Amino acid sequence: MVFPEFEYIRAASVEEASNLLVELGSGAKIMAGGTDIMPPMKDKALKPGYLVDIKNIPDLDKIDYEENAGFRIGSLVKLYAIQKNEAINKKNRAVADAAHYVASRQVRCKGTMVGNICNASPSADTAPILLAMNTTVKTFRTSPDNGRSIPIDEFFLGVKRTVLSQGEIVTELDIPDLAGNEYAAYVKHSVRKAMDLAIVGVAVWIRMDGDRIADCRLALGGVATTPIRSVKAEKVLIGEKITDELLEKAGTAASESCSPITDVRASAEYRKDMIRVFTKRAIRKAFENKAE
């Protein structure tokens, strides 16, 4: 299949890329791994006049870890690198699991976690765990402020829509560290174990105080126009001991807090029931993912 005509521009710096995107306007699209932009271009669903390639910009392909602070993941870090990173697997296995769930190994070797969230698909595998972990999205833009820090729960506006302005480029994701009494997990339900988009995805972060849940965040993917928090389920969990009865109540509350659609992959009723089931699984898995 023939691609639509476009002009390819390789940016040497974040500043140059930002200025180009502003100068060229809405007809210009940014490209890193290209896994979310090339398929719709081949299908003629996307016809940008310009592609601004940032994949050779230095210092955006690093994973940094600081004790008690957490991970800084650059915008050019490949999903496969996150999946296999030793420190991430030891300190926050849930993030590595979410990266592993994205598409195929071939796609993960090209695509980035930042690209996965900037594409803003409601079924994006990495979005729920980043939301549950209270991640901060760092950006650069030439105007008006040289960039900003965006709480992840303010990042998504709708299907394929984020708060990023024209010329604003995500430079890194800051994921807080897990303390000794904190746990996290991401679980996904799809038709096949690999390749498929999530029918539903559930991520959880839990902080314990003794044998009771002191605080938690529960995030759902694939059941709304954006990844969402289930505050109703969180309220059910906070202050309680983990029991089978509590997990059933939390799963029911999570199911009741979303309004999924019916599409070719699943009915709305099926998605709601799977949210109930996978909420329980995510909480159980969180305690299996103890950081080392």
Whole-angstrom distance, CA of residue 229 vs CA of residue 257: 9
3 state DSSP class of 74? strand
pLDDT tens, 31-64?
999 999 998 998 888 999 999 999 999 999 999 9
The burial of 144, by beta-carbon neighbours within 10 Å (0-12 exposed, 13-18 middle, 19 or more buried), is given as: exposed
What's the pLDDT at 264?
Answer: 80
Whole-angstrom distance, CA of residue 215 vs CA of residue 206: 6
Fold entry, domain 182-288: Enolase-like; domain 1 (3.30.390)
pLDDT tens, 89-107?
999 999 999 999 998 899 9
Fold entry, domain 63-176: 3.30.465
Evaluated on CA atoms 214, 220, 225, 226, the torsion sign reads positive
Rg value, the chain, Cα: 19
Edge-to-edge strands, sheet with 149-151: 63-66, 70-74, 169-176, 136-140, 149-151
Whole-angstrom distance, CA of residue 283 vs CA of residue 160: 29
What's the pLDDT at 1?
Answer: 57
pLDDT tens, 202-229?
999 999 999 999 999 999 999 999 999 9
Q: What residue spans define the domains of the chain?
A: 7-53, 63-176, 182-288
Edge-to-edge strands, sheet with 200-209: 182-189, 200-209, 212-221, 228-229
In the predicted model, is pLDDT for residue 276 greater than 60?
yes
193 vs 13: which has the higher pLDDT: 13
Evaluated on CA atoms 83, 72, 56, 125, the torsion sign reads positive
pLDDT tens, 140-182?
998 889 999 999 999 999 999 999 999 999 999 999 999 999 9
**What is the CATH number that goes with domain 7-53?**
3.30.43.10
In the predicted model, is pLDDT for residue 193 greater than 80?
no
How far is the CA of 63 from the CAs of 72, 81, 175, 203, in angstroms?
A: 6, 9, 11, 22
What's the pLDDT at 284?
Answer: 97
19 vs 192: which has the higher pLDDT: 19
What's the pLDDT at 289?
Answer: 85
